[in-house]
Amino acid sequence: MGGFEDDEPPAKRARASSVESANLTDCFSFSKSANPLGSTMARPLPSQGKEVMVGSKGVIKREEFVRIITKALYSLGYEKTGAVLEEESGITLHSPMVNLFRKQVIDGHWDNAVATLNKIGLVDENVVKSAAFLILEQKFFELLRNDNAMGAMKTLRSEITPLGVNRKRVHELSSYIISYSPQQLFLGFSKLGIDSSNSRLKLLEELQKVLPPTVMVPERRLENLVEQALTVQRDACYFHNSIDGLSLYIDHHCGKDQIPSRTLQVEEDGELLLKHTLSGHGNPVMMVAWSPDDRQLLTCGVEEVIRRWDVESGKCIHIYEKPGLGIISCAWFPDGKQILSGLTDQNFCIWDLDGKEVDSWKAQRQSKTFDFAVAKDGKLIISMHRDSAILLLDRETKQETLIEEDSTITSFSLSEDGDFLLVNLTSEEIHLWNVRNGPIRVNRYSGHKRNRFVIRSCFGGSEQAFIASGSEDSQVYIWHRATGDLIETLPGHSGTVNCVSWNPANPHMLASGSDDHTIRIWGVKKPSLKRKDVGSSSSNGIHANGNAHANGFVHQCNGNSSK
């Protein structure tokens, strides 16, 4: 009965005989996937096997391992179990001297605590002194708080100062005695907190940091180790695109099947989901923008007016215009309360929802590309400056920064966190720029085809770890954002794919619009077992990122109408 074959990570190992530990029995799930520490772990029985090392690689010391488990049990609140484990394994969490020390600190028996400190058997004298300093400092403050200034001074002089450490702090402490006022004391006690038992626990934590970990096991050590392992797995997951969190039972590994790769639905000209037809514009509609709450739509006619629509009713709520001038682009502010627009005379104009003009300024724009973006906090406005340059305007500091590219820019889009800009170029490359720190170009993506049209690209997937783009070869292209590798090309459309939109709520869904007059919805090959979206989120999801998506659709309509 010696060695069980088991595959789960060591953190959840437990003895078969620990009856009390109800929550530890789930360790018995045998999963078949690879375990970083190997597949066989010897599990010695209580009375046998005092092997010093555990784990297949023999790098884990039994004593350390049991102690951090015991510590985790205590901090989770399972006092009884912790005690049982200490007894059964014969490995105590803290030596008796250390236990005494801890008790003395909690009870406030400072002198005893310092005495015990010296008996613990610490090798490094500096450590002893630092720990003693902390204890005596606490004693000092508590004496002061209890209005015992004489006692405090005595402590400072005869006990703290002779230690010969941390002179600066000693001076600070002496100043507390001199300038003695309740408020200052209170401030001086900021690290003590209001109630002394709380502050003593904090002292214990501080002591834990000073004393070597073999003496007092650091707080949350086991949790930290597990988190480290999870972080390594997450970072190594190339195709990571899931909505669920990481499980401890199996190593996390997303396969390529997490990326949308098959067509779920093909819609022609919105016949299936046609909700409303919004009429009212006199000129072709060049730009469409969904409000941040997905309930309203802004549409902009070419050199005409901006109309705001309510999506539910299909009614036009407001018209924004500037007499004598035409508007060529529009965007929402992230708070949904203001609207930004670009005018034909190269001015920008900001309205609030009622139509009151809030701000306007002239920009030197010499480009016909009307792409716009407002960064999350509403303070950064991103627009075209020249054929090969993008202007970043900080509204507060009035500072203008330029992103200079080496070929002509056809379109751009902003990431959800407002920190990155994806720029499409005529040279058939897509460049990723960091606009928060920089601007600096961080990556390039290529492989798709662009010759005649405006092709749009977007961020997508879990944590926006992927880039998707349309292409003139009728395929959708998907790249891995961090490495720039092309991971998928999706055939299916029979015409240029003008734009793509990755569902911000569902990382497994992608929509694309094409010259073949269809919109395709792409999903993953296997249906996901657990879908967190609610009800009709599929249609909402596409619409939520409808900016790029609807633009493409609208562009098709525009093309038709101009013929």
Partner 1 sequence: MGLLFVESLPGPRVFKCKFCRVDSASPDAIVSKEFRGRYGRAYLFDSVFGHFNYTHLYSCLHVNGVNVASRVNVSLGPNEDRKLMTGLHTVNDIYCSCCQRLLGWRYEKAYNKDQKYKEGKYILEKNMMLKEGW
**Using an 8 Å Cβ cutoff, are 129 and 164 in contact?**
yes
**Considering beta carbons, is residue 285 or 467 the nearer one to partner 1?**
285
Question: Binding residues for partner 1, per CB under 8 A?
Answer: 368, 386-389, 404-406, 408, 410, 426, 451-455, 496, 498, 515, 552, 555-556, 558-560
Q: Residue 535 CB, nearest distance to partner 1 (Å)?
A: 33
Q: Residue 55 CB, nearest distance to partner 1 (Å)?
A: 56
Q: Residue 559 CB, nearest distance to partner 1 (Å)?
A: 4
Nearest Cα neighbor of 405 from 430, 436, 382, 381 is: 430
**Considering beta carbons, is residue 155 or 512 the nearer one to partner 1?**
512
CA–CA distance, 96 with 35 (Å, rounded to integer): 37
Q: Residue 126 CB, nearest distance to partner 1 (Å)?
A: 56
Q: Residue 429 CB, nearest distance to partner 1 (Å)?
A: 14
**Considering beta carbons, is residue 347 or 408 the nearer one to partner 1?**
408
CA–CA distance, 10 with 6 (Å, rounded to integer): 10
**The one-letter amino acid at 236:** A
β-strand partners of 443: 432
**Considering beta carbons, is residue 35 or 514 the nearer one to partner 1?**
514
Tokens, residue 532: 């967190």
Q: Residue 392 CB, nearest distance to partner 1 (Å)?
A: 17
Q: Residue 193 CB, nearest distance to partner 1 (Å)?
A: 57
Tokens, residue 438: 């920089």
| Three-state DSSP class for residue 239 | coil
Q: Residue 347 CB, nearest distance to partner 1 (Å)?
A: 22
Which backbone phi and psi does 549 adopt, to 5 degrees?
A: -65, -50
**Considering beta carbons, is residue 81 or 411 the nearer one to partner 1?**
411
| Three-state DSSP class for residue 324 | coil
Q: Residue 37 CB, nearest distance to partner 1 (Å)?
A: 52
| Three-state DSSP class for residue 73 | helix
CA-CA distances (angstroms) from residue 194 to 144, 205, 206, 381? 14, 17, 17, 47
**Considering beta carbons, is residue 235 or 404 the nearer one to partner 1?**
404
**Considering beta carbons, is residue 462 or 518 the nearer one to partner 1?**
518
**Considering beta carbons, is residue 93 or 287 the nearer one to partner 1?**
287
Query: Which residues are CB-contacts of 312 (< 8 A; sequence separation ≥ 6)?
Result: 295
CA–CA distance, 164 with 162 (Å, rounded to integer): 5
**Considering beta carbons, is residue 303 or 387 the nearer one to partner 1?**
387
**Using an 8 Å Cβ cutoff, are 288 and 547 in contact?**
yes
E strands, 372-419, in order: 372-374, 380-386, 389-394, 400-404, 409-414
CA–CA distance, 454 with 552 (Å, rounded to integer): 9
**Considering beta carbons, is residue 117 or 422 the nearer one to partner 1?**
422
**Using an 8 Å Cβ cutoff, are 352 and 364 in contact?**
no
CA–CA distance, 177 with 156 (Å, rounded to integer): 10
Nearest Cα neighbor of 192 from 141, 152, 143 is: 141
**Using an 8 Å Cβ cutoff, are 251 and 231 in contact?**
no
**Considering beta carbons, is residue 67 or 365 the nearer one to partner 1?**
365
Q: Residue 314 CB, nearest distance to partner 1 (Å)?
A: 25
**Using an 8 Å Cβ cutoff, are 503 and 520 in contact?**
no
E strands, 6-128, in order: 40-42, 53-54, 60-61
Q: Residue 451 CB, nearest distance to partner 1 (Å)?
A: 5
**Using an 8 Å Cβ cutoff, are 484 and 476 in contact?**
no
Q: Residue 353 CB, nearest distance to partner 1 (Å)?
A: 29
Contacts 24+ apart (CB under 8 A), 117-122: 120/95, 120/215, 121/97, 122/211, 122/212, 122/215
**Considering beta carbons, is residue 150 or 402 the nearer one to partner 1?**
402
CA-CA distances (angstroms) from residue 363 to 348, 385, 421? 7, 8, 20
**Considering beta carbons, is residue 461 or 470 the nearer one to partner 1?**
470
**Considering beta carbons, is residue 224 or 451 the nearer one to partner 1?**
451
Q: Residue 453 CB, nearest distance to partner 1 (Å)?
A: 4
User: What's the first-to-final CA gap in the chain, in angstroms?
Assistant: 82
Q: Residue 299 CB, nearest distance to partner 1 (Å)?
A: 16
What sign results for the dihedral spanned by CA atoms 518, 524, 529, 531?
negative
